A and B are shown apart, each in its own frame.
Chain A
């Protein structure tokens, strides 16, 4: 969903 994308986009995978 758009919310998922917003959360995952904020936290960059290390």
Chain B
């Protein structure tokens, strides 16, 4: 059986809010290492990969592999019934028809219990290769969100150009053009504003802003975001969570499309 207790319901609420416009139905694969999710979006241009390690939960118990096939719209409806600070416990049998959610208020003596009916989802499992990226950019997640939003008002696409010590986001639209450059920036006083660019070779790739704006819905999960780029392979956008957990998005580049 599965029993996984989260100190704050907000983590799961934010994860589901961040991915539900990309993926409708997906399996939450539970085993003794934690709860994982991997799904392509409907257009097969983007892939979502989430890992909530067992250490994210306290306690965490999962005796055998269980796939919880959940409609994310339904999941979001139920998660909205939880307060952000509620303690959330997920429970399921070994061959479950439903997943149970219990929300407990730490301040009030309130316990809410919900069940979500599960679905059989035949999902293709894809292997994500270990990749040495040519450029890895770490920057404030809010800054990346603002850049994507601003540029999406001008254009459908953005070119991300990484070179030594600088990264440039460039768009060309019908009404005009835009470009935002960020340089390596390190501050002891405000580390949350740090920008770090690691580069083995310069990279320039173009991506659909519609998807990037969508990924940025995860900004509330982490103060920083990591962008990993290599020529001709999907961009990796990673939000790191506590206990080595993560929410990752992959997006195929546009090349002469």
Contacts and interface: CB of A to CB of B under 8 A. Distances in A.
Nearest to A5: B252
Interface stretch (B17-25, B124-132, B193-201, B220-228): B124-132
Contact of B127 (A3, A4, A7, A14): A14
12 contacts: A2-B256, A2-B257, A3-B252, A3-B254, A3-B257, A4-B252, A11-B129, A12-B127, A13-B124, A13-B125, A14-B126, A14-B127
Nearest to B46: A7
B187 interface: no
Interface of B: 40, 43-47, 124-129, 208, 232-234, 250-257
A7 B257 contact: no
Contacts of A6: 232-234, 252-253, 255
Contacts of B208: 3
Please classify how large the interface on chain A is, using the bins under 10, 10 to 19, 20 to 34, 35 or more.
10 to 19
A12 B252 contact: no
A13 B124 CA distance: 7
Where chain B touches its partner, the secondary structure class is loop
A13 B129 CA distance: 11
Nearest to A7: B252
B252 A14 contact: no
A2 B252 CA distance: 9
A4 B92 CA distance: 35
A4 to B, nearest CB: 4
Contact of A7 (B44, B129, B255, B256): B44
B45 A4 contact: yes
A4 B143 CA distance: 28
B126 A3 contact: no
Nearest to B41: A7
A14 B124 CA distance: 8
A11 B255 contact: no
Contact of A14 (B47, B125, B233): B125
Nearest to B250: A7
A11 B44 CA distance: 11
Contacts of B43: 4
